[in-house]
Amino acid sequence: MKVEATHAAVDDEALLDRIKLKDSTAFNVLYDRYSERLFGYCLAATKDRELAEDIYQTTLMTVFQKAEQFKGGDFAAWMFTIARNNVRLSQRNRLQTSDIDAAFDLAGDGESPDRDIFFSGALESAIAELPDEFREVFLLKYVDGFAYHEIAEKCDISMSLVKVRIFRAKKLLRKTLQPYLS
């Protein structure tokens, strides 16, 4: 407690210098100072609580892991720039994978009269070619309709890993199915 009280009176840049030495107490002080504002920013920028939590956690990890890259100046501006870059990366990744979501709509359910048979065949082949760990989570999400947390439980992996694998599966499918998506 006494150490944290001592740290609390120190400015952000000095705390960051302590974080560079892997002082977790200094990190906790900065966390207490900025966690609400940072999460609020992530939530306002994404309008998606789950995505905001991911970006928030990624930003905090980046601040801790890359503290030595801070060259001085305004710590809060540096941290919020990291958060903004994470938001932009997330938006770019969502745009890249949204074509696959639309592709499932195009493929239809097999009963629909406007089902694209050629595309459905290409989609099935592309899914079959996915690496096992990607194909498993992808099918659980998009064919069986499980939520991320349910897939994590079924596969005995973290929810973050589920999201990463689904993202990578979509990216591979998008690349394979590019001629159909144009």
Give the pLDDT confidence score for residue 1 in this predicted structure.
43
Give the model's pLDDT for residue 111: 47
Q: Where are the domains of the chain?
A: 2-91, 108-181
Query: Among the CATH numbers 2.30.30.40, 1.10.1740.10, 1.20.1090.10, 1.10.260.40, which is that of 2-91?
Result: 1.10.1740.10
* Amino acid 79: pLDDT: 92
pLDDT digits (tens, 9 = 90+) for 72-103: 888 899 999 999 998 888 877 665 555 565 55
Regarding predicted confidence, which is higher, 14 or 113? 14
% the chain with pLDDT above 90: 25
pLDDT digits (tens, 9 = 90+) for 158-179: 988 998 998 898 888 888 887 7
Region of residue 145 (phi > 0: left; psi between -120 and 50: alpha; otherwise: beta): left
Compute how many other C-beta atoms are within 10 angstroms of the C-beta atom of residue 115. 13
The pLDDT, as a whole number, for residue 96 is: 52
pLDDT at residue 71, rounded to an integer: 83
Q: How far apart are CA 130 and CA 139, in angstroms?
A: 11
Q: What is the model's pLDDT at position 182?
A: 58
pLDDT tens for 34-70 read 999 999 999 998 888 888 998 999 998 888 888 888 8
Amino acid at 174: R
Residue 106 has pLDDT above 50, yes or no: no
Does pLDDT of 12 surpass 60? yes
Position 6 confidence tier, pLDDT thresholds 50, 70, 90: low
Instruction: Tell the CATH topology of 108-181.
Output: Arc Repressor Mutant, subunit A (1.10.10)
pLDDT value for 137: 92
pLDDT-based confidence at residue 113 (cuts at 50, 70, 90) = very low
Per mean pLDDT, which range of 46-50, 105-109, 115-119 is the poorest? Answer: 105-109
- Amino acid at the residue 122: A
**Largest CA-CA distance found in the chain, in angstroms, rounded:** 71
